[in-house]
Amino acid sequence: MENQVLQPQPLYAGENEVGTRLDAFLAAKFAVSRSRAHKILESVTVNGKEVKPSYALRLGDKIVGAVVPPEADSTPLISQSPTSPLPPILFEDDDIIVINKPRGLTVHAGAGDTGETLVERLQSHGRVLSNVGPSERAGIVHRLDKDTSGAMIVCKTDAAHWKLAADFEARRIQKTYEAICCGIPPAKGRIEAPIARSLTNRKKMTISPSGRFAVTEYEVVKSWARFAQVKINLLTGRTHQIRAHFTYIHHPIAGDAVYGGYYRALENSPSEAVRAAFENLHGQALHAAKIEFEHPISEQKMSSEAPPPPEIAAIILALDAAG
């Protein structure tokens, strides 16, 4: 059977897309080149009408028929003999897999990335993933940073992919994170600050008036002398949102070398055991602990919780012991 999407879910233009060209919108949405976006446009209507690639989106525009054709030379990235273990599975059926993504595993291939990805690992274990977008991003409807662990949904069918993509866009999916931050922030807080890519470091995000609207809510669940464990709810889903927002309020995520949390954590460690635990982390102390969503096919309410990795658990134990 050829890879295609039957009755794809419509897309809607949000506040951040107002004024964006339709071809640019589709290219960004599916992570494809502008030329491939023009191929997608051959079957697209906006509010029931055919429009030009240069059409400027308006708030609430309904885009229907956006089917991404497979590239002519696209082949599944399937290894014949898996060399790495399958990530812990929290739930799986014919349409989706919910996994506890390990720390240090890149979700999909990108510029400058080397080594095995989550997509390749799932495929090497015989999982057939959805075909919406580029083959290297098969099944991926949302992502976690390489050194962030936790609950993540991967799609096995195109129908599930389209529905979940729409649910993420409409913010109908609840994600709860746990983190250890440097210092002790107020007991509860709401961080509302626009996020843009840094002009001086392209691997880093920053707070900028020209950035995209972003909101993070948090609550301190435990604290020590110089650190706090926080529970975080994302109201938006920007790149590095938690890491950039907590740096903005001067409480970077502990262990985060990109945003200043690594050396601060080492300098403020109350004991050698705590310092050693942070050195063993090799990344930020950030974990996607829970994801709540509606099953894309059965419409059943779903909730999956992912236990934290041993590296983060070891930091908590060391902090408890240090008093």
Report the catalytic residues.
145
Q: Which two tokens stand for residue 233?
A: 């709810």
E-state strands within the chain: 11-12, 45-46, 62-64, 89-92, 96-101, 149-155, 174-182, 188-192, 195-197, 205-207, 215-223, 227-234, 286-294, 301-305
Distances (CA, A) of 44 to 68, 119, 132: 11, 28, 15
Q: Which two tokens stand for residue 131?
A: 């075909």
Q: Are strands 174-182 and 11-12 parallel, antiparallel or unpaired?
A: unpaired
Contact between 265 and 224 under an 8 Å Cβ cutoff? The reply is no
Cβ-proximal residues to 97 (8 Å cutoff; 6+ apart), any chain: 89, 91, 122, 127, 139, 153, 154, 156
The string of DSSP letters for 202-224 reads: TT-EEE-TTSB--EEEEEEEEE-
In angstroms, the CA 180 to CA 168 distance is: 26
User: In which residue are the tokens 């030009």 written?
Assistant: 52
The string of DSSP letters for 2-71 reads: ----SSPPPEE--GGGTT-BHHHHHHHHTT--HHHHHHHHTT-EETTB---TTPBP-TT-EEE----PPP
In angstroms, the CA 259 to CA 248 distance is: 10
Longest dimension (CA), the chain: 66
Residue type, 253: I
